[in-house]
Structure 1
Amino acid sequence: MMLPVLLLLLPALSPALAWIPVEDWESGNVTASVGGLGQCICHVYLPETTFPADRVQHMQQVSKDLFLEVETQMNKMVSYEGKLEVYLRELIDLIARMDMLEIDPDNFIKLDFELLRTELREFEALVSQLKYSLNSSSPMFDSLYTEIRNMTLTVNQLETLDKSNLEVIRLEFAKLQKKLEECQKEQELIKPDIGNCNHTGIMTVSKPVVVQLDAHLSAGYQYGGWGKDSKPARGYESMYFLGDSSIPSVKNFYLYSNYENLILKSAFETHNTPSGWEGTGNNYIVHGNAIYYQHNAPLRMTKLDLSTSMYEHRVIPAASHKFSYSYSEKQNLDFAADENGLWVMYASEESKGKIVLAKIDEKSFDIEEEWNTGLFMERAGNAFMACGVMYATRPVDLKTEEIYYAFDTKTKEEKDLNIRFQKYQEKYTNLHYNPTDQKLYMYNNGYYVSYSVKFDK
């Protein structure tokens, strides 16, 4: 009697995947037939399951680029010019390039899966900020969150050498493209009023967007500040600055050409304050391509021109070392910028510890006008300016901060507020508003945190 013969017609398989059990084969990939001599012939077609390392490496790079592009587009959207076309083009280009990866499987770089997951979490936070900026309750955003989480699951599967391949990710990006096209349509209908102060003040503050730990990746650098130029020179609209220290002092400033280089810790310029020009406190800002910070003995304003690397200072005779914000000592001068220009806040013996608000003449680098407020400096966590109004904050609990006071320089009226927002850590040493994107930038115990501000129209 002739025994049946079993023939398996298989594509070339990687030896690393030869262990896949038969029960995991999809039934649709197995067919059987009877040969001309009565023998049983089984055909099993297995999908190509070789781990797509080259495509995953490419996906990591492109995913990082997409995350950074979303932040850039959100900033542009908030400043009237904001559109998502660039990001959409990136997505379309990504799909085409991922198709091309099938042809070129030769490149491989070890993939940092944890970094990729972090970037996806930050991407999700940015989408949340986009939803807030648009003031939209559209279910489209919920769907967008779902797509991002699906991408995260796919990354986890790739890390464990699962049988998933990059086709799944390509489809996820295609879905994201569709969702963002819908976001673009809504964005065209709703645009924030950058530079326009035709409102009654701050209404709400968004949830925090936490970027990362400081450039040293050390929790010991609790003091510092970060953000963007509030009056950028041409060509420096995307520049970010950072200063950090383990004590409340000003020694080093780092400048980054864009958001991506900030994340990558790739500064294009570093300023180390020379002997005699070291500052104290951390309430500094960048305005008009110059850094304004506090200098002691005597207490004075200091300006570092980033174009010329030249320093100059102006003494404020009335300012006192005795009064500081509650979160940190030596926060005696607080610089701020808004739609109306450059400001500095301080307390004096004459004001009995209450904040004196002063407008700075940028050309002469001198005080041009002052207002006496009813706010005790030591009771506030920090303060900032927006549309000629000074806002002060204080802690509610370990994770909640509150804007509780406002002083309007036009009407000289004071107002009690109750605008709460979340903190990532309990204490922070720098909080300032940027009029170019209507965001608050906070250096929160070593973490870079930002918020979108919504005004009451």
Structure 2
Amino acid sequence: MRALSVVLNPLLFLLLFGYYYPSVTVRPKDGWKVYSSAQDAEGRCICTVVAPEQNLCSRDAKEGQLRQLLEQVQNMSQSIEVLNLRTQRDFQYIMRMEGQFKGLRSKFRQVEAEGKTQVNRNFQELKGKMETLQPLIPVLEQYKTDAQLIVQFKQEIRNLSMVLTAIQEEIGAYDSEELQQRVLSLEGRLRNCRSRLTCGKLMKIAGPETVKTSGTRFGAWMTDPQASPTNNRVWYMDSYTNNKIVKEYKSIADFVSGVESRTYNLPFKWAGTNHVVHNGSLYYNKVQSNIVVCYCFETGRVVTQRALENAGFHNVYPYTWGGFSDIDLMADELGLWAVYATNQNAGNIVISQLNPETLQILGTWNTEYSKRNAGESFMICGTLYITNSHLTGAKVYYSYSTKTSSYEYTDIPFHNQYFHMSMLGYNARDRALYGWNNGHQVLFNITLFHIIKTEDDS
């Protein structure tokens, strides 16, 4: 198998480590995200794809800083111009006053020469001259103040020039348009790199990042992994029962700030918190039943609904925290899934792959893990990962591969920051886990262990 060779510029690093260094840990800088790790079929190398968070690829921050600095320079230039005009005016006034001062000196000499007889008359004349010079005092004071301001402005301009020079050196001689094209090119390379990575095995869960704190202790929030890169709508479903209101937000930013774009009133209330949005439709468990409902957001109607045969419901086989979490609907790279338990499988977890359009079961796998002993679960690349608790100290304890119909015990810890996890769902587009953690909406980054595909692979 030929090794994958990807050459990217500073916005993306593909780090390769030799076979003899499998334990090397990549520690990206703040704001950078580990997308995945990989090895070839013979285990000769580990590949870790590290890329910046989406907002770091934007020029907005630097361009905004440059705009602010340029505005400061323009403001100071205008202020200096005003001061310059004022000091020129004051200087001309002072020149006129200087002539009058010289005249006063002559008068004083004349008084000394002519004696006391002329003192009274000349004193009155001098008094009048002094009154005409009285306005000169505030002008001189203002002149001194303006001179100090000019010195300060000059120093600030020197400082700004240094900052502008540093930014110019950092971003180089490229204009904004060319930089944007380079960013788009790098993003394309990143997508191409990721497309060469096959479905991988979960290795690590990092985080969480707290996105928002809202709602009750139990609920669900999600984005659509099938949506286009520009479609970042968020759906929010508070509580695990007695509710059928879904709130929609146009973006994560709107979600954080609480700016709703639309509200949907579902025809049936939901049970539990294990819902999923897939290709524009919401899939959820209808309350007090084992019926799965497919609701289309675009039409505002139920597309289809179907019962999961023999699936327990209404707290017969919930996760450890209860909450009518009997039926867990999820999506991954391979499609739509339902996770539940049946009497026929002795209350152990059953995995079924569903047709998204008809909800017919495409395949079913029986595990040996008790549904009531599971904290939460999620699917990645056709493998079900199960946590052993919903409380502090939980870890991913068990996994079941639908590809090989086999299981293994794992030991992947994750930080249950707010002590009670009532929803955990994987998003294949974001390569992240969405969680509802005791009234906090959180995100976990994940690291997958990949097999690299090459053009030689069939």
TM-score tier (shorter): 0.5 to 0.7
Alpha carbons 2:311, 2:341 under 8 Å: kept: yes
Change (3 A) 1:309 1:171: farther
Alpha carbons 2:241, 2:269 under 8 Å: kept: no
Alpha carbons 1:223, 1:443 under 8 Å: kept: yes
* Aligned pairs (5 A) from 1:206-355: 206-214=206-214, 221-232=216-227, 234=228, 237-245=231-239, 247-274=240-267, 277-311=268-302, 312-321=304-313, 322-355=316-349
- Displacement of 1:278: 0.8
Change (3 A) 1:386 1:323: same
Change (3 A) 1:370 1:397: closer
- Displacement of 1:310: 0.7
Return the alpha-carbon distance in structure 1 between the equivalents of residues 447 and 192 of structure 2: 9
TM-score (norm 1): 0.60
Change (3 A) 1:81 1:364: farther
Match of 1:238, SS? coil
Alpha carbons 1:210, 1:424 under 8 Å: kept: no
Return the alpha-carbon distance in structure 1 between the equivalents of residues 352 and 197 of structure 2: 20
Return the alpha-carbon distance in structure 2 between the equivalents of residues 88 and 393 of structure 1: 37
Alpha carbons 1:226, 1:242 under 8 Å: kept: yes
What root-mean-square deviation, in Å, do the aligned CA atoms of Structure 1 and Structure 2 show? 4.0
Return the alpha-carbon distance in structure 1 between the equivalents of residues 186 and 414 of structure 2: 26
- Structure 2 residue 361 is matched with structure 1 residue 367: yes
Return the alpha-carbon distance in structure 1 between the equivalents of residues 56 and 323 of structure 2: 45
Alpha carbons 1:335, 1:343 under 8 Å: kept: yes
Post-superposition Cα deviations, 1:83-116, rounded to whole Å, max 9, x if no partner, equal 86974511221122212443579xxxxxxxxxxx
Match of 1:207, SS? strand
Change (3 A) 1:367 1:196: farther
Match of 2:372, SS? helix
Return the alpha-carbon distance in structure 2 between the equivalents of residues 282 and 94 of structure 1: 41
For 2:8, the equivalent position in structure 1 comes to none
Deviates more, 1:87-96 or 1:386-395: 87-96
Alpha carbons 1:403, 1:420 under 8 Å: kept: yes
Return the alpha-carbon distance in structure 1 between the equivalents of residues 34 and 259 of structure 2: 21
Return the alpha-carbon distance in structure 2 between the equivalents of residues 278 and 264 of structure 1: 27
Match of 1:432 among 425, 431, 439: 425
Letter of the 2:312 counterpart: S
Alpha carbons 2:396, 2:412 under 8 Å: kept: yes
Letter of the 1:294 counterpart: N
Letter of the 1:99 counterpart: L
Match of 2:353, SS? strand
- Displacement of 1:379: 0.5
Letter of the 1:285 counterpart: V
Return the alpha-carbon distance in structure 1 between the equivalents of residues 65 and 318 of structure 2: 54
- Structure 2 residue 371 is matched with structure 1 residue 401: no
Letter of the 1:296 counterpart: V
Alpha carbons 1:195, 1:339 under 8 Å: kept: no
Match of 2:414, SS? strand
* Aligned pairs (5 A) from 1:14-33: none
For 1:12, the equivalent position in structure 2 comes to none
Match of 1:395, SS? coil
For 1:389, the equivalent position in structure 2 comes to 383
- Displacement of 1:188: 10
Match of 1:243, SS? strand
Match of 1:206, SS? strand
Alpha carbons 1:194, 1:437 under 8 Å: kept: no
Match of 1:318, SS? coil
Change (3 A) 1:268 1:390: same
Alpha carbons 2:34, 2:50 under 8 Å: kept: no
Alpha carbons 2:33, 2:50 under 8 Å: kept: no
Return the alpha-carbon distance in structure 1 between the equivalents of residues 366 and 276 of structure 2: 22
Match of 1:422, SS? coil
Alpha carbons 1:80, 1:191 under 8 Å: kept: no
Change (3 A) 1:383 1:250: farther
- Displacement of 1:411: 0.6
Change (3 A) 1:314 1:369: same
Letter of the 2:323 counterpart: E
Post-superposition Cα deviations, 1:140-163, rounded to whole Å, max 9, x if no partner, equal xxxxxxxxxxxxxxxxxxxxxxxx
**Structure with the greater relative contact order (CA < 8 A, sep ≥ 6): 1 or 2?**
2
Deviates more, 1:94-103 or 1:431-440: 94-103
Return the alpha-carbon distance in structure 1 between the equivalents of residues 344 and 242 of structure 2: 26
- Displacement of 1:230: 1.8
Letter of the 2:372 counterpart: E
Aligned residues: 315
Match of 1:93 among 60, 63, 71: 63
Match of 2:236, SS? strand
Please tell me whether Structure 1 or Structure 2 has the larger radius of gyration of its CA atoms: 2
Change (3 A) 1:394 1:83: closer
Change (3 A) 1:370 1:212: same
Return the alpha-carbon distance in structure 1 between the equivalents of residues 274 and 390 of structure 2: 21
Letter of the 2:66 counterpart: A
Return the alpha-carbon distance in structure 1 between the equivalents of residues 245 and 312 of structure 2: 25
Post-superposition Cα deviations, 1:250-284, rounded to whole Å, max 9, x if no partner, equal 4221222122111111121111224xx11111100
- Displacement of 1:198: 3.1
Return the alpha-carbon distance in structure 2 between the equivalents of residues 442 and 449 of structure 1: 5
Post-superposition Cα deviations, 1:304-354, rounded to whole Å, max 9, x if no partner, equal 101111113111131112100012320011011111000001101111110
Structure 1: tracts of 5 or more residues without a match: 1-69, 106-164
Match of 1:263, SS? helix
Alpha carbons 1:212, 1:448 under 8 Å: kept: yes
Letter of the 1:89 counterpart: R
